[in-house]
Amino acid sequence: MATAIYMRVSTEKQEEYGVSLETQKERLQSYCIMKGLEDTKEYLDVGSGRSTDKRENFKRMIKDIKEKRITNVVILKLDRLTRSIVDLNKMIKLLNENDCELHSCTENLDSTTASGRMMMNLIGTFAQWESETISERVTINMQTKAEKGIWMSSIPFGFNHSKDKRLEVNNEEANILKEAFNLVLNGMSFTAAEKKISNRYNLNWSENYLTRKLKMHSTVGDTYRNGQLYENTHQGIITKRERDKLIEILEKNKTGRRFIEQDDLFRRRVKCSQCGSIMSVNARSHNNYKTIHYSYVCNDCHANDRPFMSVSESILENAFYNYMRRFPIVELNKEDNKENENNNKIKTLMRRKNSIDRERDKIQRAWIKDMMSDDDLSRYQKELDKELSQINDELSKMQVKRVKVDKEELKELITYFNDHFSLLSREEKRSFIQQHIRYIEYERKLVRGYKKKYDTKITNIEFF
């Protein structure tokens, strides 16, 4: 029967720690000669000691043990075998079931006795504790560096690594990304924009690369490390407002057709007046494809046997123009008042939330000084917890994330529309609508005396 010499190194460079491959091999062979263990087989793994799942030669050794080819396993230290107490117990059980002995060059271990197994468990527990402690220290160190803006991962596209190991914008690559995002803002799908930019600059972008890049925290100047977000650690390629707008476009387009060649103005911006679903574009060619007429239809109404809903793009454009020309700026002031009321209510709830924390500290100090019984402490805490839960529920309802253009921006937008929209080309009109409008709501009424003629009016526009 053979003797297994098992060696493990976390990396190829462990000379400074005294457990390199050469060190282990020399000491293990000397131990086998001293103990008279012959016919040795070597098993070497490079990897972490936390788990045995990814160690191929360890698995091969286990297979040989089960097949009765191995009667002794020799290791330098127990932590070379595993640092997990769970894996260690499984290993001990396996060795005993297959009449295989475990030998450690530096630890006097006997897996066949209760005291020996207890000693092995103690050593394994400390090895696991040491491993977890090191992991915690590494995590803390990485988070401290991340908080300071030091970048420790591979350099993302659009950035360079500065001398102080921080991210700095690579203008050439950043401009390529901005160009791709602008195509999306102008109405192109993420897939089409990704393909167009990738071909134009001969980039090897994988599928959905642009979407993944948009969602990376580094793109907007933040660093995400070990479940913690550190904001503004470096200069971003796009702003967070631009990121949120692009993500909303991405979410809106998930259920629609992914690539449409036509250049319709209101793509995925029109809501059905009957059911509220986003309407799809329908294109019809005339004069041997020289002219294309667009209309918007509701597939949801059609699928659910509701009356068919459609609206011509030319009619909708005229209604859009009329709505924007008479856009009630005064309504913005009303929205401001509502927003102020909402903000004041949030501030009141936050003040009460902070006062609850102070009250909790007071009653705990009173309990520590024996000025309050256990029952009173429990009762007060339950009352405070209940009130705190109600406040958090209200705050979660009031602080719903909204990507909303502010009043001054909207005034500038309306002014620009009134001065320039009628002079814009079709492509420029389409770009304006896709960049600034989230959705359009309309209504239509049958004109008296007609069977199919409708008066179409836009009732509401929500802006990005």
Q: DSSP of 243-282, one letter per residue?
A: HHHHHHHHHHTTTS-S---S--TTTTTEEPTTT-PBPEEE
- Mean pLDDT (whole number) for 338-357: 71
Lowest mean pLDDT among 10-24, 204-218, 413-427: 10-24
Residue 254 reports pLDDT greater than 50: yes
Task: Quickly state the pLDDT bin for 401 (edges 50, 70, 90).
Answer: very low
Q: What residue type is assigned to position 448 of the chain?
A: R
The CA distance from 316 to 265, in Å, is 10
CATH fit for domain 2-144, picks 3.40.50.12780, 2.60.40.420, 3.30.70.20, 3.40.50.1390: 3.40.50.1390
What is the phi-psi region of residue 276: left when phi exceeds 0, alpha when psi lies from -120 to 50, beta otherwise?
Answer: left
Residue 88 reports pLDDT greater than 80: no
Q: Report pLDDT for 256.
A: 43
Single pTM value for the model: 0.48
- Mean pLDDT (whole number) for 159-172: 91
CATH fit for domain 161-252, picks 3.90.1750.20, 3.30.9.60, 3.40.50.1970, 3.20.20.70: 3.90.1750.20
**Helices 313-325 + 407-420 axis angle, to 10:** 120
Task: Quickly state the pLDDT bin for 159 (edges 50, 70, 90).
Answer: very high
Residue 160 reports pLDDT greater than 90: yes
Going by C-beta distance under 8 Å and a sequence separation of 6 or more, which residues neighbour residue 145?
152
CB 461 within 8 A of CB 432: no
Task: Quickly state the pLDDT bin for 403 (edges 50, 70, 90).
Answer: very low
Lowest mean pLDDT among 39-53, 203-217, 327-341: 327-341
- Mean pLDDT (whole number) for 288-308: 82
